[in-house]
């Protein structure tokens, strides 16, 4: 029997910053002249991103008055790892708590005390006692809740969290797993003109997401996704093209221009490896939840699998509105899939991908479980999320 994923709740910092504003901050911080600034603005224009969220207001202030970075022309002394981790510890918990509450609001019959397992996910900050223990205290979870931390695995880490949750539910039909992913990517801005850093600075944003996984469909007719199968692949030629290292001034992302080509080359093999053992063919799939690592990655997958931009619409919307939030992002896309489902989609397969260092490629097959009452709950939740987003501070 499959386990079920649902009640996906999200949370973002109050600072919603337009992509052109971030480009101006970056050009100023890097000391770019007119020619390099034009190139940087072009990179941001074609990113497919309109806004990103950050725990740092500084990205909306191109000419000083910073609260995190030094108010010096060259941002020196540049913030250390310790300063960035202090900001992570300060900001991660409130965001995680908000995401969990937005999740549990969808299932009022599920009490925090009924959670048996807690899986926390992050690659942008770590400390101990950590976020997992702080969530137990903040949410009133049972002190004996079984805690697992998935750290530093990058954008595909939420898939590993779902694998763990699925295994817990298969081992214990009474398991109720709370997954919480928090990524504060913008803490790790690198003041470097290297191409890898320019690209990563143009893509990543901050966000949190929480969801429930249990052995039975969620209560109160909440729409859910049955976890059908997982498959992992490695593209060894990409070992050095996507990486994540801790250095003196933050966590440094390597994201070479070859990554989309490597994914395009390997995605069909990954898909076949997932579907070959299932009674589902690629042609049977109408719903996709692809991690929007960047616009070129989405286009590469479309070319390799014969998908249209409309097939990928949920990923493009998340990329447009949030950027790449590392591990949290694919769960945002799955939330979009659930919100858009109709009664006719009940039982329909959903194909999902996520990618990360290694080059690691993860695939999942899920199945929609929806009905008219479930859709009413989903529509109400989506309306609440839209109202909340409209109230968030937009930095001009």
As annotated, the active-site residues are 155
- The 3-state secondary structure of the chain reads CCEEEEEEEEECCCEEEEHHHHHHHHHHHCCCCHHHHHHHHHHHHCCCCCEEEECCHHHHCCCCCCCCCCCCCCCCCCCCHHHHHHHHHHHHHHHHHHHHHHHHCCCCCCCHHHCCEEEEEECCCCCCCCHHHHHHHHHCCCCCCEEEEEECCHHHHHHHHHHHHHHHHHHCCCCEEEEEEEEEHHHHCCCCCCHHHHHHHHHECEEEEEEEEECCCCCCCCCEEEEEEEEEEECHHHCCCEEEEEECCEEEEEECCCHHHHHHHHHHHHHHHHHCCCCCCHHHCCEEEECCCCHHHHHHHHHHHCCCCCCCHHHHHHHHHHCECHHHHHHHHHHHHHHHCCHHHCCCEEEEEEEECCCEEEEEEEEEECCHHHHHHHHHHHHHHHHHHHHCCEEC
Beta partners for residue 102, in sequence order: none
- Cα 334 to Cα 375: distance, rounded to the nearest angstrom: 15
Which residue from 160, 157, 133 is spatially nearest to 144, judged by alpha carbons? Answer: 133
Cβ atoms 35, 74 nearer than 8 A:
no
CA dihedral 186, 192, 194, 195 (to 10 degrees): 30
Cβ atoms 363, 228 nearer than 8 A:
no
Tokens standing for 30?
């890097």
φ, ψ (nearest 5 deg) of residue 224? -145, 170
CB neighbourhood size of 53 (10 A): 25
């Amino acid at each position: 029997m499959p386990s079920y994923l649902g009640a996906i709740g999200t949370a973002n910092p109050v600072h919603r910053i337009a992509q052109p504003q971030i480009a101006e901050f970056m050009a100023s911080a890097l000391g770019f002249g007119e020619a390099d600034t034009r190139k940087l603005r072009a990179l941001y224009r074609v990113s497919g991103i309109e806004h990103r969220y950050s725990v740092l207001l500084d990205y909306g202030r191109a000419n000083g008055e910073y609260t995190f970075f030094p108010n010096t022309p060259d941002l020196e002394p540049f913030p250390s790892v310790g300063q960035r981790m202090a900001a992570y510890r300060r900001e991660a918990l409130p965001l995680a708590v908000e995401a969990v509450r937005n999740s549990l609001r969808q299932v009022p019959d599920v009490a925090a005390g009924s959670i048996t397992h807690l899986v926390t996910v992050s690659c942008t900050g770590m400390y101990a006692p950590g976020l997992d223990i702080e969530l137990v205290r903040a949410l009133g979870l049972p002190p004996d809740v079984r805690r697992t931390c998935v750290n530093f695995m990058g954008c595909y880490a939420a898939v590993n969290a779902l694998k763990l949750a699925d295994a817990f539910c298969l081992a214990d039909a009474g398991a109720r797993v709370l997954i919480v992913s928090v990524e504060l990517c913008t803490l790790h801005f690198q003041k470097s003109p290297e191409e890898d850093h320019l690209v990563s600075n143009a893509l990543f944003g901050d966000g949190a997401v929480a969801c429930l996984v249990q052995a039975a469909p969620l209560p109160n007719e909440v729409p859910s996704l049955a976890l059908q199968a997982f498959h992992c692949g490695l593209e060894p030629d990409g070992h050095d093209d996507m990486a994540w290292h801790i250095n003196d001034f933050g966590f440094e992302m390597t994201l070479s221009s070859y990554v989309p080509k490597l994914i395009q080359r390997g995605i069909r093999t990954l898909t076949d490896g997932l579907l070959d053992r299932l009674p589902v063919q690629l042609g049977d799939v109408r719903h996709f939840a692809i991690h929007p690592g960047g616009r070129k990655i989405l286009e590469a997958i479309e070319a390799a699998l014969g998908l249209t931009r409309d097939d990928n619409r949920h990923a493009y919307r998340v990329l447009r509105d949030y950027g790449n939030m590392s591990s949290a992002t694919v769960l945002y896309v799955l939330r979009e899939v659930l919100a858009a489902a109709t009664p006719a989609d009940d039982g329909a397969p959903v194909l999902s991908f996520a990618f990360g260092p290694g080059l690691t490629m993860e695939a999942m097959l899920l199945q929609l479980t929806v009905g008219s009452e479930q859709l009413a709950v989903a529509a109400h939740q989506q309306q609440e999320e839209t109202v909340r987003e409209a109230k968030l501070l937009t930095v001009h």
